[in-house]
Structure 1
Amino acid sequence: MNKLKFSRELRLLAPVQFRAVFEDPLRASTPQMTILARQTSTEIPRLGLTVAKKHLKRAHDRNRIKRIVRESFRLNQHELPALDFVFIAKGGIGKLDNQALFLALDKLWQRHIRLAKKEK
């Protein structure tokens, strides 16, 4: 049975880990968000989040976006390839409601699954 947790080992925590993803990533984007991915030495996918104050002024808006991205990752983690992912929020992301955000994230996860199969 698959465990649907979002434990500490599924997160990118250190700046070095983020920098590694930014070097030469696979990219999947919408006008409101980008998900970068990079090959990793771990056997599980990991997620890092960047939601800037520049795009969402209020903390509760930034927290809502991060909560939804973590939940989407948690539900899709067993389908995702073993890559390090970094979610980047862009302008206009605050205008999306929760359902639209989940749908956009699902499309981006599916795109990364296809990109990873193409890379192999």
Structure 2
Amino acid sequence: MSSYSYGRELRLLTPAHFNSVFQGKPIRVGSSHLTLLATPNNLPHPRLGFAVSKKSAKLAVQRNRIKRVIRDSFRLNQHHLPNVDIVVIGKAGVGTLAKPELQQLVKQLWPRLKKRCRTSQ
């Protein structure tokens, strides 16, 4: 049975991990509120990191809610995603989205990312 946990091995933890995504030509999937950058990794699973700034969501409560919703969605969809390192970048106004709107947005971005990764190989 597949595990739906979100353990340490599924996170981008160090600046080197983030730099590996930002350097080169990452696969980019975006909307008006979020951008996902992804690069292939040599691991048997995808990893996730966040770059949600005060500019995109003023209050810490908003930034934490955004990260919590995306983390939960990633946790449930991790087995359907390719083996890539993903950085989620928040754009201006993402902090104003309600939780259901944010969930729907992220739900739409995962299949687009999967499709883009397939076509770039």
TM bucket (normalised to shorter chain) is over 0.9
Contact in 1 for aligned 2:11/2:49 (Cα 8 Å): yes
How many percent identity over aligned positions?
A: 43
So what's the TM-score if we normalise by structure 2? 0.95
Counterpart residue number, 1:99: 100
* Structure 1 partner of 2:67: 66
Equivalent in the alignment of 1:40:
41
Question: What does residue 12 of structure 1 align with?
Answer: 12
Q: Supply the distance in 1 between the matched residues of 2:93 and 2:113 (Cα, whole angstroms).
A: 22
Structure 1 gap ranges (5+):
none
1:115 aligns with 2:116: yes
Aligned to 1:53: 54
How many residues align structurally?
120
Q: Distance in 2 between matches of 1:55 and 1:21?
A: 20
- Cα deviation, residue 39, structure 1: 0.8
The alignment yields a C-alpha RMSD, in angstroms, of: 0.9
1:66-113 per-residue CA deviation (whole Å, 9 max, x = no partner) reads: 100100100100000000000000001012111111111111110111
Corresponding letter in the other structure for 1:10: L
Shift of 1:119: 2.4
Question: So what's the TM-score if we normalise by structure 1?
Answer: 0.96
In the other structure, the counterpart of 1:2 is 2
**Hey, what's the Cα distance between the residues in 2 that align with 1:98 and 1:57?**
16
Q: Secondary structure at the match of 1:78?
A: helix
The one-letter amino acid of 1:118's match is T
One-letter amino acid of the structure 1 residue matched with residue 101 of structure 2 = A
Distance, in Å, in 1 between the alignment partners of 2:117 and 2:46 is: 12
